[in-house]
C-alpha cells in the first residue's frame, strides 16, 4: 500500500473504532464498582479460556503425543542399533580380525552405546602366553544393561568372556538389587596381535 492509501485506511478505521471506544468507556463509568469487578472477572476468565484453547491445550496435546510415540521410537532405535552391529560384524568377518587398537575402540564404543561408560572402565591389554586379555571393572552397573552388553560382545569385537567376578553392589552398607560391581575378564582374538 502506498502512503496516501495507508493513511486513508487508518483514518477510516479510527473513525469507526473511536466512537465505539467512547461508548464502551461511558458504559463502563455508569456501572457500579461491583458490576465493574464482575465484568472485569468475566473478561479475565474469557481471556484465560482463549489462552487455554489457542495456546496451552495444543501444546499439551503435542506433549502427550510425543510421550506416546517415544517408546516406539526407542524400540526402533534399538532395532536399528542391532542391524548396525550385525552389519559391522559381517564387515569384520570379511576383513578378518581387528587389531588391538581397533578391538579396544570397538569395546569402548559398545560400552558407551550400552550406557555403561559411567559404570565401567577397561584396564590395559595384557598378554598371557599366546593370549591377549583385557579386564573391565564395573561399579553399580545396571544388571540388564550389563547382561545385554555381554551378550552382544562376540558381534562387536569377536571377544570371549574368560572370567566373571560380579556381585550385587553395596551402597551405604546395603545390597542394591539390580546393580552389579566386579570384574569381567575378556579374551581377545589371536589375530589382534601386532
Quick count: other Cβ atoms within 10 Å of Cβ 19?
10
CA–CA separation, 146 and 120 (whole Å):
10
Q: What pLDDT tens digit does each residue of the chain (194 aa) get?
A: 555 666 677 777 778 888 888 888 888 888 888 988 998 899 899 998 888 888 888 888 888 888 888 888 887 887 787 777 777 666 655 455 667 777 788 888 888 888 888 888 888 888 877 778 888 899 988 888 888 888 887 766 678 888 888 888 877 778 778 888 899 998 887 654 44
| pTM score | 0.48
CA–CA separation, 161 and 50 (whole Å):
63
Q: Name the residue with cell 566373571.
A: 164
CA–CA separation, 52 and 42 (whole Å):
15
CA–CA separation, 122 and 103 (whole Å):
12
Whole-angstrom Cα Rg for the chain: 34
DSSP 82-94: HHHHHHHHHHHHH
Model pLDDT, residue 44: 92
Model pLDDT, residue 194: 44
Task: Give strand ranges (E) for 43-130.
Answer: 120-122, 126-128
Model pLDDT, residue 41: 92
Model pLDDT, residue 5: 66
Partner residues linked to 141 by β-bridges: 180
Task: Give strand ranges (E) for 65-156.
Answer: 120-122, 126-128, 131-142
167: Cβ contacts below 8 Å, ≥ 6 apart: 180, 181, 182
Model pLDDT, residue 66: 85
Are 179 and 143 within 8 A, CB to CB? yes
Amino acid at each position: 500500500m502506498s502512503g496516501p492509501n495507508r493513511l486513508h485506511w487508518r483514518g477510516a478505521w479510527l473513525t469507526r473504532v473511536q466512537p465505539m471506544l467512547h461508548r464502551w468507556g461511558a458504559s463502563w463509568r455508569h456501572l457500579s464498582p461491583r458490576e465493574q469487578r464482575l465484568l472485569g472477572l468475566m473478561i479475565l476468565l474469557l481471556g484465560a479460556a482463549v489462552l487455554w484453547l489457542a495456546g496451552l491445550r495444543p501444546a499439551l496435546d503435542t506433549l502427550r503425543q510425543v510421550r506416546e510415540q517415544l517408546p516406539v521410537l526407542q524400540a526402533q532405535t534399538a532395532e536399528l542399533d542391532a542391524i548396525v552391529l550385525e552389519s559391522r560384524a559381517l564387515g569384520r568377518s570379511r576383513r578378518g580380525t581387528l587389531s588391538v587398537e581397533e578391538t579396544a575402540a570397538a569395546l569402548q564404543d559398545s560400552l558407551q552405546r550400552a550406557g555403561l561408560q559411567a559404570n565401567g572402565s577397561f584396564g590395559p591389554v595384557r598378554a598371557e602366553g599366546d593370549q591377549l586379555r583385557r579386564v573391565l571393572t564395573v561399579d553399580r552397573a545396571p544388571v540388564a544393561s550389563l547382561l545385554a552388553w555381554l551378550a552382544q560382545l562376540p558381534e562387536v569385537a569377536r571377544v570371549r568372556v574368560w572370567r566373571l567376578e560380579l556381585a550385587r553392589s553395596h551402597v551405604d552398607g546395603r545390597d542394591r538389587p539390580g546393580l552389579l560391581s566386579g570384574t569381567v575378564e575378556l579374551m581377545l582374538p589371536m589375530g589382534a596381535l601386532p
